[in-house]
Amino acid sequence: MFEFFFKYPLAAYRKGEFLFASGWAVWLLPILALGAAAGLLWHARRARSRLTGPALWGVWALQAGSAAVVLTMAWQPALAIQSLKSQQNAVAVLLDTSQSMSFGAQGVSRLAAASSALSERVLPALSQKFRVRLFGFSGEPERLGSLAPEALPEPGPSTGVGESVLRVLRESTALPLGAVLVVSDGSDNSERFGRDMMSEIRRYNVPVHTIGVGRESIEGDIELAEVSVASRSMPRSRVSAQVTLRHDGTDDRQTRITVRDGPSVLASKAVTLRAGEPVRREWIDFGAGDAGVRNLAFAAEPLPGEEISGNNLRQSVLDVPRRRRRILYVEGEPRWQYKFMRRAVHKDASVQLVSLLRTSTNKFYRQGVDTPEQLEDGFPAEEKELFAYDALIIGSFEAAFFSPKQQVAIREFVSRRGGSLMMLGGRSGLGAGGWQNSEIVDVLPVQLESGPASFLRERAKVELAPQGRDSLVCRLDSDPARNAELWDEMPELADFQLLGELKPAAVTLLSVRRGRAALPLLVRQNYGRGRAAIFATGGSWRWRMGLPSDDERHDTFWRQLLRSLVAGTGGTVRLSSARSSYADESRIDFRVEVRDRDYTLANNAQVTATVTPENGPVATLDLRPSATEPGIYAGEVDAEQPGVYRIETVARLGEERLGADSLHVRREDGVAEYFHPERNGELLARLASQTGGRYWDLDELDGLAGEIRFSEAGITSREVLDLWDMPAVFLLLLLLRGAEWMLRKRWGVV
């Protein structure tokens, strides 16, 4: 429609430069227009007897407008624009041939619809003016001889829109490439099409036009859009996964999420997807099981008649290393919480609770030690001895018992070593023990209140704080409502301790009710590389003695709390990968953080990685230190074959072995295309607008070939397009004169 009235596509007006082709002085135009208007006014006033008041001014305005239009036409307005020279430029047409293009509606696939539209409405017009280079692409582009079904490649396992465009641009640098036309559903799943790639595409200055194919919403489809779950867990721990479900949001729908490890069902949960709520996030808990590797499969039950069920499944790998975490618990006085805490983790093979209990003023009782010599001289005097533990718990112990050097070591244990510190309430603990004046005051998540009066032997009801409801530490049941109920039924604590103001980064998981106030009880925060927590009571043992002997709540809470202290604590060598599951990507990248025995980042270590695929040869890599991040060594490995890959890394400093770590990641093929199967118009529109092209709908392709012509890439010529003869101008003149005639007739002055 625009082109009908204005003779040229809108893009020509956007890109072109407006000018007057007559060569006459432009300043003369407004003078003449003003003169004409004045003359017309003089003429109209002479005929006052016949035209008066508003009629006089109305007729004059219409006549002056007509004169201005005619004068402007006489000056020959035009657009100067660069346009591609006919038959001297190439246009690359990229047709998406990925798996998602096989989805469709009414029995016609997206690929068939796109091929048909290209063949019938686009390519004939393009071929008249340009040399058309036809490509098919999923992961990488490949030349196509024609769009005949037999000439198209097999559906590809992934879509890399950005990569394919970039590849074509790179390969066409020697060609006069005028434009790129991408025909796709936009379901880019390469995860590499970011700002950097877009910038690189823009640098070629070739307009990319995009044609969107497929529906923007698929009715009756559930997609398990994302599963967020830890890549590592301790044996027999609870693991919480956040599952993101997407649906069209038009109606309430019921489904069930199931977590499996091979044939074993680890957890299952019914979920209602509400109308008007297209994205829903659910937490699902399951047991990590014994040490080993869990091949986790998260599945959402398909809806009746669901077209695409391939996006109802996500797979992941969970490493459950056998390593036993060591917690040092120093307690200043025998008390019941000490006993019941020890009992809670007594059978936990993944946690070793080493305790040092001051039984009398000059005697200590040790439990959980490996050798008779361990902790023989009391609390570790040297950093090295303390750093051998993953977490430290300090009970009812006054700060003055610890030397300044030991207090500094505790602070460094958290900040540098990355260990966890938890302090417990007690008559000599926290503020009552003078810790507010110690070296670790910055580590703690609260400003401690001072004085022995802060510890109260009063019964206190525990409440779940808002953040506690989402925390695995406080998860007694996977159902949130039942979890809240279980906490509500908990017996009162035997005592608690008043804490001061929370620090900005502190998070409260549990609180105690005192009158109308909810006082923080379990608080934690990150500090440096580690974490610090306060459990401001010595009276949680009443949860054990006040509930039936077969009730596990007390023990579950303590196990989860102690495991949370050590779960994130690594050794000197920490291996990590960006993801635990790589779908349709043949490259696995990973990084290793290396520290020396003092837990200082080591830049001069020799780090090797051994990658063992499920099927295939073992690869050994020497990793290079990162130029920008100290202590970081990065590596990547080609993983063509799907399956589980085991990555082991060892770091050495000279002859000394600093440490080792290992990790499992999964490689899958034929998965990515089932996710986000609806058309991603937003991505296609962004690609077009960022490069100077235009986003087209498959049903409205008229003018595509004409618009492609106005490109500054390739071999171009400067073209001057006359505007004076465009239909809109004549229509305007007609309207002005017609309006004058209508008014004169109405007023009887024709």
Partner 1 sequence: MAVIRVRRAFWPLVLSLSVAVPLLSALQFWGFRGGDPRAWDFDPDARAEFQFVRYAYGSGRDGERWGRRRGGWRTDWPDAEYHLTNGISRLTMIDTAYGGRFFDPMDEELFDYPWVYAVEVGRWYLDDQEAARLREYLLRGGFLVVDDFHGSYEWAGFASSMNRVFPDRSIVEIPETDPLLHTLYDLDHRTQVPGIQYVWSGTTWEDDGYTPHWRGIYDDSERLMVAINFNMDLGDAWEHADTPEYPESMTALAYRFAVNYVIYAMTH
The footprint of partner 1 (CB under 8 A) covers 332-336, 338-340, 342-343, 346-347, 357-361, 363, 365, 367, 427, 457, 494, 538, 541-542, 544-549
- Residue whose CB is less far from partner 1, 254 or 367: 367
DSSP states along 173-194: TTS-EEEEEEEE-----SS--S
Closest CA to 704 of 235, 130, 255, 151: 130
Give the full edge-to-edge strand order of the sheet including 716-722: 17-20, 77-84, 716-722
DSSP state of 107: T
- Residue whose CB is less far from partner 1, 193 or 329: 329
- Residue whose CB is less far from partner 1, 262 or 334: 334
CB of 398 to partner 1, least distance (A): 11
CB of 563 to partner 1, least distance (A): 20
Residues 6+ apart with CB under 8 A from 96: 110, 111, 114, 136, 137, 138, 159, 161, 182, 183, 184, 185, 213
Angle at 420 between CA 595 and CA 553, to 5 degrees: 140
- Residue whose CB is less far from partner 1, 342 or 529: 342
DSSP states along 652-668: EETTEEEEEEEEEEEEE
Residues 6+ apart with CB under 8 A from 89: 129, 130, 131, 176, 177, 178, 711, 714, 715
CA distance linking residue 444 with residue 429, whole number of Å: 13
- Residue whose CB is less far from partner 1, 544 or 709: 544
- Residue whose CB is less far from partner 1, 130 or 541: 541
- Residue whose CB is less far from partner 1, 333 or 648: 333
- Residue whose CB is less far from partner 1, 53 or 548: 548
Q: Which residue has the tokens 């050590």?
A: 566
CB of 495 to partner 1, least distance (A): 8
What's the 3-state SS for 144-157? CCCCCHHHCCCCEC
CB of 359 to partner 1, least distance (A): 5
- Residue whose CB is less far from partner 1, 373 or 550: 550
Q: Do the Cβ atoms of 222 and 298 come closer than 8 Å? A: no
Q: Report CA 131 to chain centroid distance, whole Å.
A: 40
Q: Which residue has the tokens 């000197």?
A: 572
- Residue whose CB is less far from partner 1, 60 or 340: 340
DSSP states along 18-61: EEETT-S-TTHHHHHHHHHHHHHHHHHHHTTTT--HHHHHHHHH
